[in-house]
Amino acid sequence: MEISAVELVSSLVRTLQSGSLYALMALGLTLTLAILKIPNIAHAEYVTIGAYVSFTLINYAGLQLWQVIAPSFLVGGAVAVASYYAVFKPLKKRGASMFILMVASFALALIFRHIIYTIAGIGNWGLGVKPKIVTNAVFRVFGVYISDILLMALPTSIIAMAALYIFIMKTRTGKQMRAVAEDPDLAVASGINPEKIALITLIISGGIASVAGSFWVIFTHAHPDVGLEALLRMIAASALGGFYSYPGTVAGAIIVSFSENTVMDALNRSFGLSLALKPLIPMAIIILVLVTHPTGLSGITWRRKRTLIARGV
Amino acid sequence: MVLDQIVSIVISTGNFYAIWLILTLSLNYEYGYNGILNFGKVLFFGVGAFAAGYVVANLANFVAGVAVDMCSAQAVQLRLETARASPVFAIGGFLLAIAAGSILAGIVGLLLTSSTMRIKEGFILGIVLLAAGETSRIVVRNYEPIACGYHGLVGIPNPFLFVGDAQTSTYYLSILIWAVAAINFIIMFKVSRSPYGRMLKAIRENELAAESFGKNINKVRRQVLFIGSMMSGMAGVLYAYYIGFVAADDFTSLKTFDIWVAMMLGGVGNHVGAASGAFLVTVIDRATRTLRGWLATLNIPIEMLYVRWIIVGVLMLIVLMYRPNGLIPEGPIRTPAYRIFGTANLRWSRWRKS
Amino acid sequence: MSSSGVANSVLVAVAVVVLLIGLGIGIVVSPAIMGTGPIQTVTKTETTTVVAGATATQTIATTVTQTSVSTVTITQQAGPQKTEYTIGFAYELTGAQASFGNDMKDAGLVAIAELNEILEKSGSPIRFKSVVEDTASTPEGTVRAVQSLVENHRASIIVGPISSLGVAAVKGYLDQKEVVLVSCCSTAVTLKLPNDYIFRVIASADVQGKALSKSVLADGFRKAAVIYRAEAFGESLFNEFKKDFESAGGTVAAVPYAPDQSDYSAEVAKLSEEVRKLGPSETAVVAVSFQTDGLLILGLARLDETLSNVRWYGINTLRVPAFLPPQAPREIAEFMVKVKMTSSYTSPPANPRYFHFLEAFEKLHGRKPGPQAELGYDAAWVAINAILAAGTDNGRILKDVIIPVAREYMGASGHIWMDAAGDRAIQDYTISRIIAEGDSFKWIDIASYDASANKIRPIS
């Protein structure tokens, strides 16, 4: 297998580019699942909504990318909160199991997606429109271009991840969220307000997903299936993290993107595997992870391995 | 003539209904009776259909003694001509296809359950099955020898082609499809009344309690998914024969969701509910098409067919919230004791809110 | 509900039995009602006249060097003539192909409107009604749509769908029901079957592939890197392109991609690598993409240095307003100008019918038509011409009439010369290139592909 430096660097750059965006998308999924125990399939649609909100603001209100991030976050958060109050909360009150919640989120996703299809139809946006602002190559290194999207999305992901980590680990509300994640009944008994926790969780998940959508729309386009298409990658990223770990999800997103770019490239060179099979990668990851090691990366006891390595085992 | 119009509509709607009935019954068997979240139903449906195509195409080559590329136009001619000439090939091919399709689908189901045995969380199994369904579609799509890849396999002959008249052979095929659907329904009906069916429901309600009574959960899960997959495979074969064409792209995950909608709307854990759900969905499809035609003349810029899906989603949410067991809820389990002593409870249970 | 469990199941069993009996009655009674159709005799005579040479001026039927005349004699049962015919449009109005489907449907409606106007002016009592059904871009949806058209709406003839999978799915049903289907856009080579009820006004992939290959060869390239959709249409086109290009001594590098994705950075990077491997100065890039994926690929290609400095060729789906401002960012069009993007459209150059169609479409629908919409228009016209010529909508008669009728028809896409299997055999293309004109962008016609001669002729 021969691969030149240019191609290798190119695939690594692409890994970071898409990976940081997948991480932003998948974080919210893990959040809702871990804290509220809701497998929210409609999470993918928050990304699409963010994409369309940004597209509209950029094309019709003439805003710049950095200006649409806040409105996008707010709209995404609002829609997430609305889905909770309209669907998940009543179901939970009726004692719905995780299965029912998941099926309900499917129905919700269907509704959102087709509302977006209808709006796209009215706006005569055909299928797939690009906003006025496009990605541009900012500079070239080793014959590979670094786009402005990468320069924006990567730091945003890192900051979002760090901020979330600090929030969850250090602040009081974060500790409350963790308590609810561990044992909801005990948390309520200890006086934590579950409503407040739910609201915060949803605003953050929906918001981050929409911001990811804003970046995604510049990188690709605004299309009603944008979220759905990314859904399996989000699930794969979350699964790699064992579904309940945030750093695991981010690492998972990078691994998914790495597999799609570098690993796929290697398979193509060594085994002639056609690039048309690229959509198989996230699915293969899901099946492999869930069948062999369902607890994902977080299931590996890192501390024990570190001590073992330190002891020279 | 209006009568022949009605007959055609009944036949075409009836055929789709029969196939969807088998699919909904099988999903009900897996989820309704045993709580298995099968989000990959389209996989087993597809396996049956692809197996049917593969069997027929290769059988035709074998019978005619040639080795034509099964995806070419000559192969299509060959299959149709052989079916017209030889009833043995036509019907024998069908029987072989049904056997192969169902068993293969069942085996795939068995393999998947065995490998996901360790997963306790229901929704994880659901995701794995979803991923498996999509994977199979992409693989079959890109791998020609199974179902001609992107182009699909044309020309699966009606098993009654030898009769001569195209109309009559379609009628006979329809009767066959209906018969198979009816058999499946009767089997499900029997199962729901049997001790085995009661055990399935017991497991669904409380796994721990069932286990303490000595029921092997994993073994039961394997059996249920095997039977459910077999039924879906059977439906796939019928579908392949009815349409006469199979293509990988026809088996997307959206189809799984359609079957879930049918089951949830009709009634979970209840074979009559499953039957009514499938009926509702088939009828809604035909009805909204006609409705759309009328609405199109009003020149509203909103595409009604998208609105149809919004309505379906809303309906599903309403069903989940207010009637989680569907429009036709599950009745109480009929044990022999119930039949004898149950009349006193009858009036009481009718008024009780479910 | 709870008490009637037993009664419930018995009821259902009874219902099933009754339905089966009903079915049985239907079988016995139906043929008597539906009848075997009016008695008819059909005679076909074919005479062949050969016209020497082919002229270079591009007017009607110039490229045809052989004409074949068929006369069809039909004797029909006397009875009241039908005055209203229903044309059933089965197109992808939702789903992945929705924008194509809507365009084709609208093009077909233009044809129906034109014909009804002519009939009204001439005082004829005949009218054509159109009914539209959505196939949801899936094979099963196509079957449902066509069944609804044939059974609920009693359509005389079906026009559509776009997808080859859809056509293949309904072939069995239509052959049994004896209803003709005219497709504008299905290109699968596997559907080239004679004696069925499927007819196509689009040339299949082998003709298109040859045209594309010849246009690249004509500009002096012997190396091509092709990025194409990995599905029925794209793959067939690529295979035919490769066959023709390689037989002329060229080298082809392939970059297939799964359609319906948003992120094509990996595929575009691969394309760039292939171009570098072949040598950027001698290689042409060929894009076999539709609108959605085309925009995404071009959007990424413009960032790549190698790909911005080679010549690009694309199929006719790229030559549409969706790629130009205001519908797309300016940068895309600028990139297309930079790489001298060369595309085509399905019509011989300076075809007056084509320009008439463009005008009529814009007048009726208030927007410009999408790629290949002229084929949707022609498909509808062939369908209604067949019914008018036959004077009936009996499928069995239409099946025999449609080929000779199509051959007499000069459409917006040129002369519809159907071969014996009912598929179009000759399709001329006009090759265009995009240029910047001041602040806006324009496509200018630079050459034409003469299908009969298999040659590229420049337009001066």
Using a CB-CB distance cutoff of 8 angstroms, which residues of chain B are in contact with residue C19?
14, 178
* Chain C positions touching chain A (beta carbons under 8 Å): 94, 96, 98-99, 230, 255-258, 260-263, 265-267, 269-270, 273, 291-292, 295-296, 299-300, 303-305, 322, 327-332, 367
- CB–CB contact B313 A111 (8 Å): yes
Using a CB-CB distance cutoff of 8 angstroms, which residues of chain C are in contact with residue B185?
12, 16
CA–CA separation, A173 vs C334, rounded Å? 51
Q: Which string of b and e fits A235-269 if b means at least 16 CB within 10 Å?
A: bbbbbbbbbbbbebbbbbbbbbbbbbbbebbbbbe
More confident residue, B352 or B268: B268
Mean pLDDT of all residues in B156-161: 87
- CB–CB contact A104 B134 (8 Å): no
Mean pLDDT of all residues in B136-160: 87
CA–CA separation, B222 vs B261, rounded Å? 24
CA–CA separation, A161 vs A174, rounded Å? 14
Query: B118 to chain C, minimum CA–CA distance in Å?
Result: 33
Q: Is residue A294 part of a domain?
A: no
> Which residue of chain B has the CA closest to A294?
B119
- The domain tally of chain A equals 1
Q: Which two tokens stand for residue A3?
A: 């691969």
- CB–CB contact C193 B7 (8 Å): no
- CB–CB contact A276 C305 (8 Å): no
CA–CA separation, C281 vs B243, rounded Å? 50
Per-residue pLDDT at C55 exceeds 50: no
* Across A17-31, A81-95, B312-326, C374-388, least confident range: B312-326
Q: Judge whether A229 and A42 are in contact, CB under 8 Å.
A: no
Using a CB-CB distance cutoff of 8 angstroms, which residues of chain C are in contact with residue A225?
260
Please tell me which of the candidates C93, C94, C190 has its beta carbon nearest to residue B154.
Answer: C190
Mean pLDDT of all residues in C145-164: 91
- CB–CB contact C263 A279 (8 Å): no
Query: B325 to chain A, minimum CA–CA distance in Å?
Result: 11
Query: B91 to chain A, minimum CA–CA distance in Å?
Result: 37
Amino acid occupying residue C89: F
Per-residue pLDDT at A4 exceeds 60: yes
Query: What pLDDT score was predicted for residue C286?
Result: 96
| B64 Rama sector, left if φ>0, alpha if ψ -120 to 50, beta otherwise | alpha
pTM above 0.90, yes or no: no
- CB–CB contact B73 C148 (8 Å): no
Q: Which uninterrupted H or E stretch holds A13?
A: helix A5-36
Q: Is residue A260 part of a domain?
A: no
Please tell me which of the candidates C3, C12, C188 has its beta carbon nearest to residue B151.
Answer: C188
Using a CB-CB distance cutoff of 8 angstroms, which residues of chain A are in contact with residue B264?
103
Cis bond upstream, residue C161 (ω within 30): yes
Q: Which uninterrupted H or E stretch holds A149?
A: helix A148-170
- CB–CB contact C131 B189 (8 Å): no
Query: C257 to chain A, minimum CA–CA distance in Å?
Result: 4
Query: A175 to chain C, minimum CA–CA distance in Å?
Result: 37
Per-residue pLDDT at C93 exceeds 80: yes
Mean pLDDT of all residues in A288-292: 86
Query: B211 to chain C, minimum CA–CA distance in Å?
Result: 28
Neighbouring C-beta atoms of residue C282, cutoff 10 Å: 14
Closest CA to C348 of C457, C245, C201: C457
Please tell me which of the candidates A106, A117, A283 has its beta carbon nearest to residue B135.
Answer: A283
- CB–CB contact B175 C23 (8 Å): yes
More confident residue, C225 or B286: C225
- CB–CB contact A91 B321 (8 Å): yes
Query: B90 to chain A, minimum CA–CA distance in Å?
Result: 36
- CB–CB contact A100 B321 (8 Å): no
Q: Is residue A254 part of a domain?
A: no
- CB–CB contact B152 C165 (8 Å): yes
Could you tell me how far CA A198 lies from the centroid of its own chain? 19
Query: CA-based angle C73:C74:C77, to the nearest 5?
Result: 155
Return the SS3 of C440. Answer: strand
- CB–CB contact A108 B121 (8 Å): no
CA–CA separation, B263 vs B258, rounded Å? 9
Mean pLDDT of all residues in C7-29: 48
Whole-number Cα distances in Å, B299 to A159, A191, C380, C444: 49, 57, 22, 36
Query: What pLDDT score was predicted for residue C32?
Result: 36
Domain carrying residue A105: 5-226
Give me chain B's average pLDDT, please: 83
- CB–CB contact A275 C304 (8 Å): no
CA–CA separation, C318 vs C298, rounded Å? 10
Q: Judge whether C213 and C315 are in contact, CB under 8 Å.
A: no
Q: Which two tokens stand for residue C287?
A: 């894009």
Amino acid occupying residue A299: G
Using a CB-CB distance cutoff of 8 angstroms, which residues of chain C are in contact with residue B182?
16, 20
Confidence of residue B235 (pLDDT cuts 50, 70, 90): very high
Whole-number Cα distances in Å, A111 to A42, A227, B130, B315: 9, 13, 20, 10
Query: A95 to chain C, minimum CA–CA distance in Å?
Result: 24
How many Cβ pairs within 8 Å bridge chains A and C?
Answer: 99
For the ranges A128-142, A237-251, B190-204, the maximum mean pLDDT occurs at A237-251
> Which residue of chain A has the CA closest to C370?
A126
* Chain B positions touching chain A (beta carbons under 8 Å): 35, 37, 115-116, 118-119, 121-124, 126-128, 131-132, 134-135, 138-139, 142, 257, 260, 264, 301-303, 306-307, 309-310, 312-314, 316-317, 320-321, 324
Which tens digit of pLDDT belongs to each residue from B72-124? Answer: 888 888 888 888 888 888 888 899 999 999 999 999 988 888 877 666 667 78
Closest CA to A221 of C162, C332, C285: C332
More confident residue, B348 or C311: C311
Using a CB-CB distance cutoff of 8 angstroms, which residues of chain B are in contact with residue A97?
122
- CB–CB contact A283 B314 (8 Å): no
- CB–CB contact B127 A239 (8 Å): yes
Which tens digit of pLDDT belongs to each residue from A158-189? Answer: 888 888 888 988 888 888 888 888 888 888 88
Confidence of residue C288 (pLDDT cuts 50, 70, 90): very high
Query: What pLDDT score was predicted for residue C307?
Result: 93
- CB–CB contact C3 B346 (8 Å): yes
Check residue B267 and report its DSSP letter: -
Please tell me which of the candidates B119, B139, B301 has its beta carbon nearest to residue A290.
Answer: B119
CA–CA separation, C104 vs C182, rounded Å? 12
Preferred mutation among C162, C238, C262, C303 to probe A, highest tally of A CBs within 10 A: C262
- Report the DSSP pairing between strands C311-314 and C283-288: parallel
Using a CB-CB distance cutoff of 8 angstroms, which residues of chain B are in contact with residue A103?
260, 264, 316, 320
Query: A297 to chain C, minimum CA–CA distance in Å?
Result: 26
For the ranges A298-312, C20-34, C183-197, C205-219, the maximum mean pLDDT occurs at C205-219
The ipTM value here is 0.90
Query: What pLDDT score was predicted for residue C3?
Result: 40
- CB–CB contact B150 C230 (8 Å): yes
| B133 Rama sector, left if φ>0, alpha if ψ -120 to 50, beta otherwise | alpha
CA–CA separation, C262 vs C240, rounded Å? 27
* Across A114-128, B199-213, B239-253, least confident range: B199-213
CA–CA separation, A198 vs A204, rounded Å? 10
Beta bridge partners of A146: A139
Amino acid occupying residue B306: Y
Mean pLDDT of all residues in C236-244: 93
CA–CA separation, C154 vs B280, rounded Å? 24
Q: Is A123 on the interface with B (CB under 8 A)?
A: no
Using a CB-CB distance cutoff of 8 angstroms, which residues of chain A are in contact with residue C331?
134
Which tens digit of pLDDT belongs to each residue from C169-212? Answer: 999 999 989 999 999 998 877 788 888 899 999 988 888 899 99
- CB–CB contact B290 C152 (8 Å): yes
Within 13 Å and on the Cβ side, how many CA atoms surround A156? 30
Using a CB-CB distance cutoff of 8 angstroms, which residues of chain A are in contact with residue C263?
18, 219-220
Per-residue pLDDT at B22 exceeds 80: yes
Per-residue pLDDT at A136 exceeds 50: yes
Delimit the domains of chain B by residue range: 2-251
Per-residue pLDDT at A40 exceeds 90: yes
Confidence of residue A244 (pLDDT cuts 50, 70, 90): confident
The fraction of chain C above a pLDDT of 70, given in percent, is: 82
Per-residue pLDDT at B305 exceeds 70: yes
